[in-house]
A and B are shown apart, each in its own frame.
Chain A
């Protein structure tokens, strides 16, 4: 398996890997390590921001380099973005940016599900 430079970089550095703690942390996860792919995002909002803005995101992940790289990239670029129940870039845009084989799109959908779950939790929107 070959990876593009962006994937190699974010996989090797895994920026923002870890967790957030405290009552103002909101969490969302998707996937299952037993199935080979799992992602969890923790998000914290900027206090008093309206509309709500992201202060910080941390992630944990079990999965392939693409999955780890995309999760790390999303977490790193999240601060100051609005909290909304969608990815800042579409799955197809992320797939192109990280040169993810089309057959691995399912991994990106797991990232998307985890991201949306975390954002929904931060917005107080119940899961569908």
Chain B
């Protein structure tokens, strides 16, 4: 890792754990479980199928679901799409109204927008200034024709944790609306209990939890009798919900990663929380720093805006030293301020001048001190150039 910048973008993705990579590699070659898990007619297929089902049970155990409730997908984006389109189309005769929030991931917002284009109505609930959704506001948005409520568990930009249990209870009280939770950022960072929370659908991602990219799952509650219309056809795999050959190595990787992530996370939580506090102390000392997402949050995400600096320049100045995300979507020409930070009431300038630091398994105190020094130097230099 010599000469590489300090990686503080674990909320974007994580490196695959070596033990996970080793398990995956065992599924790729002639000597390993390379068979098609759908090929029940020979030992190669049976071996692959065994591993896929073991992985399914591992993922289910990590989130409090039954193995039979797990549907493999290519990631959380596909899981979100399957949950939203699948629910909307299956229950279209019951109603055409969806409730979501303004701070969801694009893989929720964009499907909702597409459904809106097709005639569905969508209500987007706003969070408070700290990024927390009031369950009462979600409940107030419910209508007799609401068929789906889609709310994320942990916000990917600011790390805030929504009160999923309360929202689930309100949905249940309101009647027919199905409750979908995007938990792409949750596993290994905070407790997820699909079975006891009263959730109908739960989206999961492997690569946020030291598993492979291209692997995810949608938990579909059997106990609650959730039905979905598939998005793709051909083969009938995954109880016809997701046709296509299951990628054994991806499933195995996700299962192994989730098992590691859910094994006694207490000490690691404490360590990461300590690093986050150290980081915030250092950044706050720069002055003109605003914490985005001051509500209840996961220990590994810290989002901070810096007054008096331009966002693109701030990112360019720190990039050689630290790898972080910015609070804006960058194109070649312009930078769109983060819609999440805008939803929190931040103005364009403050939203653009934000950095998201996300910590992980390999983050050290030294990394934090490097980040504080890099950001401090950059902010002071850019403010001096601007005469601020």
Q: Are A60 and B385 in contact (CB under 8 A)?
A: yes
Name the distance in Å between B20's Cβ and chain A's nearest Cβ.
32
Q: Are A64 and B310 in contact (CB under 8 A)?
A: yes
Interface residue B2 (Cβ < 8 Å from any Cβ of A): no
Interface residues on B, range: 20 to 34
- Measured CB to CB, the nearest residue on chain A to B334 is A103
Question: B349 — which chain A residues lie within 8 A by C-beta?
Answer: 33-34, 36
Question: B234 — which chain A residues lie within 8 A by C-beta?
Answer: none
Interface positions of A (Cβ within 8 A of B): 1, 3, 11-12, 14, 17, 19, 33-34, 36-38, 40, 60-65, 68, 101, 103-104
Name the distance in Å between A35's Cβ and chain B's nearest Cβ.
9
Q: How far is the CA of A14 from the CA of B313 in the complex (A)?
A: 12
12 contacts between A and B (CB under 8 A): A1-B330, A12-B317, A14-B381, A17-B385, A19-B387, A33-B349, A33-B386, A36-B349, A60-B385, A62-B308, A62-B386, A64-B310
**A-B complex: 7 closest residue pairs judged by Cβ atoms:** A103-B333, A62-B386, A60-B387, A64-B312, A101-B332, A65-B316, A17-B385
Question: B316 — which chain A residues lie within 8 A by C-beta?
Answer: 1, 3, 11, 64-65
Interface residue B182 (Cβ < 8 Å from any Cβ of A): no
Q: How far is the CA of A122 from the CA of B232 in the complex (A)?
A: 69
Q: How far is the CA of A17 from the CA of B384 in the complex (A)?
A: 8
Question: A68 — which chain B residues lie within 8 A by C-beta?
Answer: 313, 385
A-B contact count (CB 8 A): 53
Q: Are A36 and B310 in contact (CB under 8 A)?
A: yes
Q: How far is the CA of A37 from the CA of B333 in the complex (A)?
A: 13
Q: Are B313 and A64 in contact (CB under 8 A)?
A: yes
Question: B333 — which chain A residues lie within 8 A by C-beta?
Answer: 101, 103-104
Question: A61 — which chain B residues lie within 8 A by C-beta?
Answer: 385-386
Having A1-B330, A12-B317, one finds 14 other A-B pairs with CB under 8 Å, namely A1-B312, A3-B316, A61-B386, A62-B308, A62-B386, A62-B388, A64-B313, A65-B313, A65-B316, A101-B332, A103-B331, A103-B334, A104-B332, A104-B333
